[in-house]
Amino acid sequence: MNTLVLGSQWGDEGKGKIVDILSQKADIVVRYQGGSNAGHTVCVDGKKFVLHLIPSGILHDGKTCVIGNGVVFDPKSFFEEKKQLEDLGVKLDSKLLISDRCHIVMPYHKSMDVNSEHILGDRKIGTTGRGIGPAYVDKYARVGIRACDLLDKETLKEKIKNNVEHANRIYSLYDIEPLNEKAIYDEYIEYGQMLKSYIKDSVYFLNDSYKKGKTILFESAQGSLLDVDFGTYPYVTSSNPTSGGAFCGTGLPYKSLNKVIGIMKAYTTRVGNGHFPTELLNNEGDYLRKNGNEFGATT
Q: Are 47 and 81 in contact (CB under 8 A)?
A: no
Residue 275 is a catalytic residue: no
User: Which of 152, 139, 140, 252 is CA-nearest to residue 195?
Assistant: 152
Name the β-bridge partners of 105: none
**One-character DSSP codes across 28-48:** EEEE-SB-TT--EEEEETTEE
**Residue boundaries of the structural domains of the chain:** 3-101+198-291, 103-195
Q: Do domains 3-101+198-291 and 103-195 have the same CATH topology?
A: no
CATH 3.40.440.10 fits 3-101+198-291, yes or no: yes
**Angle formed by the axes of helices 107-120 and 132-140, to 10°?**
110
Domain topology for 103-195: Adenylosuccinate Synthetase, subunit A; domain 2 (1.10.300)
The dihedral region occupied by 32, where left means phi > 0, alpha psi between -120 and 50, and beta the remainder, is: alpha
* 143 alpha carbon, distance to own chain's centre: 20
Q: Residues, the chain, total?
A: 299
Q: Of 20, 40, 74, 113, which is the active-site residue? A: 40
Flag residues of the chain having pLDDT under 70.
Answer: 117-126, 296-299
User: Which of 185, 220, 242 is CA-nearest to residue 71?
Assistant: 220
**What CA–CA distance (Å, rounded) separates 100 from 67?**
10
Angle at 211 between CA 208 and CA 213, to 5 degrees: 115
Q: What is the pLDDT of residue 124?
A: 66
Q: What is the pLDDT of residue 126?
A: 62
Q: Are 238 and 25 in contact (CB under 8 A)?
A: no
Q: What is the pLDDT of residue 258?
A: 97
Residue 286 is a catalytic residue: no
User: Which of 64, 73, 78 is CA-nearest to residue 29?
Assistant: 64
Helix, strand or coil, per DSSP, at residue 100: coil
Q: What is the pLDDT of residue 102?
A: 98
User: Which of 272, 75, 296 is CA-nearest to residue 192?
Assistant: 75
Q: What is the pLDDT of residue 298?
A: 64
Query: In the chain, what is the greatest distance between 2 CA atoms, to the nearest angstrom?
Result: 58
Name the β-bridge partners of 97: 66
Q: Of 12, 100, 113, 227, which is the active-site residue? A: 12
Q: What digits encode the pLDDT tens for the residues 232-290?
A: 999 999 999 999 999 999 999 999 999 999 999 988 888 878 888 788 889 999 999 89
Taking the alpha carbons at both ends of the chain, their separation in whole angstroms is 34
pTM as predicted:
0.92
